[in-house]
Amino acid sequence: MGKRQSYDGVVLCAPFTTAYQRYSIETAHWWIARALKGSLDLAGLRPSEIDGFTVSSFTLFPDTAVGLTQHLGLSPRWLDHIPMGGASGVVALRRAARAVQSGDADIVACVAGDTNHIDSFRLMLSSFSRFASDASYPYGYGGPNANFALLTDRYMQEFGATREDFGKICVAQRQNALSNPGAVMKKPLTLEQYLAAKPISDPIALFDCVMPCAGSEAFLVMSEEEAAKRALPYARISGAIERHNAHAEDPIQLRGGWSVDIDELWDMASCAPVDMDLVQTYDDYPVISAMQIEDLGFCPKGEAPSFLRDKDMTIKGDFPHNTSGGQLSAGQAGAAGGFIGLVEAIRQVTGQAGPTQVAGASSALVSGFGMINYDRGVCSAAAVITGGAR
């Protein structure tokens, strides 16, 4: 395998999040337009000035990125549509960065957004994937809750994790969300409330589940000179990986694709887990955050519960994690759930996170995980980003 080329000279800027809403009567197009405009406004750019565009969304049907160019009046020379759910943020970053590096595009807008109507979640479930229709939904139709319940059950058996361990992750994220005015969840959560919550699909209970909502996220990828010329705060990409359908032979998913590429990620970034000022994991369920903390090298396999036991995962703590509240407390805005951690991390390392700012943050690890095609998440991705000029 050849050595990966660096992402030198490419930067991320103009991170924008549209405040999430539990339900919306608007469309995905509307939400995507809001985030794109928000990001362009931050950068002082007109829509005609971007020449690359990538979008991720579940509720855009029957449209794709193609339909959006005409709908939004864009004429890019580089266009992508990334159907990777929770991994789409980091994957968008990787593709856009290579496009800019190679000169296929100068400024790429990366956007994700979804609406949430009363019946959206149920309808999305009904047409998610062929394997899901054939082999997962007929079994109780518990959606991802039931799939991840099986995974959580196995993780608890294998590694002796307890519900309290997962509760700690959820409670800390709720604490972080209280500082994020755009979060859907506004009330504090105690460990007692977490443990006493309504069962959803044992061992998963209410606060292990994300709240589906409407929302959108966007950021721009451009050359460092371009960002400097426009006096935009930016983040550099130290390293990034992605992997699909790893460990297919594992009977139940207890590890993700990160474990295949992790050494390369840290080599490329020339740093180590301990150098990170904050970590943004993909948190569709707390067990998945635990899995990422292990697979990304913060602790050995199965030891995330004990590793986290003496950590403070809040904004002011010694292991700031999912600083905007993550999907568990800010909400899961469809495919924007694959962007929430990345957009927040860009804000953090560029000192623009406002109420959720981790003091002095300059390095962040962002991880993505997506698409329960049948019994497990298929896509995994991660990136290390660092603050550039402020």
Partner 1 sequence: MTDPLPPPPKKNPQVRTVSPTRPPEARSRTALGLSAAAAEGRFALQHCDDCGKVQYPPRDACSGCLSTELRWKDTDTKGTLLAETTIHTSTKLYFRERTPWRTGSVQLDAGPVIICHLHGDCVRNGRVDIINRLDRSGQAVLLALPSQRSPHMEDDPQLRAMTSDPKHRRILITDARNPNTPEIVKALCDAGASMIFVGLSEAWRPSPTVDALSAMDKVDMLPLDVTDTHSVQKLAGAIGGKTDILINNARFLRPGGVLARSDTSFAKEEMEVNYFGLMRLAQSFGPAMASRTADGVNASVAWVNILSVHALSSQPEFGCFSASNAAARSLSQSLRAEFRASGLRVMNLYCGPTEDEWYQPLPPPKVTPQAVARTLVTGLQNGLEETYCGDVAKDVFERFRDNPLILERETTLAGDGA
Measured in residues, the chain has a length of 390
Under rule CB under 8 A, residue 149 binds partner 1: yes
Residues 6 or more apart whose CB falls under 8 angstroms from that of 99 comprise 52, 78, 105, 108, 221
User: How, if at all, do strands 234-244 and 107-114 pair?
Assistant: unpaired
CA distance 210 to 328: 4
CA distance 152 to 107: 41
CA distance 232 to 280: 23
Task: Name residues contacting partner 1, limited to 346-375 (CB under 8 A).
Answer: 374-375
Task: Name residues contacting partner 1, limited to 43-82 (CB under 8 A).
Answer: none
Q: Of these, 142, 182, 297, 351, which contacts partner 1 (CB under 8 A)? A: 142
Q: Which stretch binds partner 1 (CB under 8 A): 69-77, 247-255, 257-265, 342-350?
A: 247-255
Q: Which stretch binds partner 1 (CB under 8 A): 83-91, 107-115, 117-125, 283-291?
A: 117-125
CA distance 176 to 7: 31
What mask, x for binding partner 1 by CB under 8 A, covers residues 312 to 351?
----------------------------------------
Closest contact distance (angstroms) between CB of 306 and partner 1 is: 22
Closest contact distance (angstroms) between CB of 124 and partner 1 is: 10
Closest CA to 309 of 167, 190, 194: 167
Three-class SS string for 239-293? EEEEEECCCCCCCCCCCCCHHHHHHHHHHHHCCCHHHCCEEECCCCCHHHHHHHH
Q: Which stretch binds partner 1 (CB under 8 A): 77-85, 110-118, 135-143, 181-189?
A: 135-143
Q: Of these, 113, 203, 257, 337, which contacts partner 1 (CB under 8 A)? A: 203
CA distance 183 to 211: 11
Under rule CB under 8 A, residue 162 binds partner 1: no
Under rule CB under 8 A, residue 136 binds partner 1: yes
Closest contact distance (angstroms) between CB of 299 and partner 1 is: 23
Interface residue list for partner 1 (CB under 8 A)? 121-122, 125-126, 130-131, 133-143, 145-147, 149-151, 153-154, 157, 198-204, 248, 251-252, 374-375
